[in-house]
């Protein structure tokens, strides 16, 4: 059984460094002095009761929201001090798989995965085809490239969204409740995929989830947030 242990000093590099984070929604403090270090190459879980702002934290890291106080530094860049162009370039290096990150329903699986490549690169179509099939192979769905989203199960849709999230070879992926709504078999497949992809692609992953057992089975580190503060933190053994 996985458990949270006290955090020893680690020489691992930090990809995301959060210091003194304060973020308010109206008069309510969602985060009140939060510090975090997300290590490169590791899968870090963010856990806590519903309504504690776990999804909000991902949006702050991605620059979609701005904190009232404190700093969020991603790969040496302070997110809330970047220009629109700099933030755009940084976001291209972040894969995001949000709970409501639905596929585009009027185009095929292939075109869904190809979308970020066509949008953000000038690669020839032949190379895009090879990359898309490679990403679909990585999530076990190479044979589904001609299907439409309406023909996919919930688990398959989540895996196609994952293939799209890794299309641009990001340095980091942020997952928002990736196990929600999945049957036990699909959940098992996705749990294994997240860990395998993190290791195989040398990714840094941040995983928000309320599924304790599944999350602790693959996480390297975990932060528990409650009432705006980190109440527990450490590696998972």
Segment 168-226, tens digit of pLDDT: 999 999 999 998 888 888 899 999 999 999 999 999 999 999 899 999 999 999 999 99
The upper half-sphere exposure of residue 81, i.e. CA atoms within 13 Å in the direction of its Cβ, equals 9
The whole-angstrom separation of Cα 109 and Cα 132 is 10
**Is residue 98, in this structure, part of any structural domain at all?**
no
Segment (H or E) for 196: helix 184-200
Q: What is the DSSP letter of 4?
A: B
Distance between CA 158 and CA 102 in Å, rounded? 8
Last residue of a domain, one of 141, 169, 197: 169
Is 5 within the bounds of a domain?
A: no
| Domain assignment of residue 194, given as a range | 12-93+170-237
Check whether residue 136 and residue 159 sit in a common domain. Answer: yes
Task: Identify whether 159 is part of a domain.
Answer: yes
To the question of pTM greater than 0.85 for the whole model, the response is yes
Domain boundary among 140, 169, 198: 169
CATH number of 177's domain: 3.40.50.300
The answer to the question of residue 136 being in a domain is yes
SS3 9: coil
Each residue's pLDDT tens digit, 103-139: 999 999 999 999 999 999 999 999 999 999 999 999 9
H-helix or E-strand spanning residue 69? strand 69-74
């Amino acid at each position: 059984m996985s458990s949270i242990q006290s955090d020893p000093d680690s020489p691992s590099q930090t990809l995301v460094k959060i210091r003194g984070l304060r973020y308010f929604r109206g008069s309510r403090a969602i985060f009140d002095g939060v510090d975090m270090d997300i290590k490169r190459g590791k899968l870090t879980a963010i856990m806590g009761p519903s309504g504690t702002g776990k999804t909000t934290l991902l949006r702050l890291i991605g620059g979609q929201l701005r904190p009232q106080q404190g700093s969020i530094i991603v790969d040496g860049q302070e997110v809330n001090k970047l220009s629109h162009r700099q933030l755009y370039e940084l976001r291209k290096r972040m894969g995001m798989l949000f709970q409501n990150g639905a596929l585009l329903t009027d185009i095929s699986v292939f075109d869904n995965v190809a979308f970020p490549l066509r949008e953000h690169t000038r690669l020839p179509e032949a190379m895009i085809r090879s990359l898309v099939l490679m990403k679909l192979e990585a999530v076990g769905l190479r044979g589904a490239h001609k299907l439409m989203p309406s023909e996919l199960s919930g688990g398959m849709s989540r895996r196609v969204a994952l293939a799209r999230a890794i299309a641009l070879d990001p340095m980091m992926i942020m997952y928002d409740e990736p196990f929600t709504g999945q049957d036990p078999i699909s959940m098992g497949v996705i749990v294994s995929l997240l860990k395998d992809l993190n290791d195989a692609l040398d990714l840094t992953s941040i995983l928000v989830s309320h599924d304790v057992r599944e999350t602790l089975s693959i996480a390297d580190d975990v932060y528990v947030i409650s009432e705006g503060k980190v109440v527990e933190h450490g590696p998972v053994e």
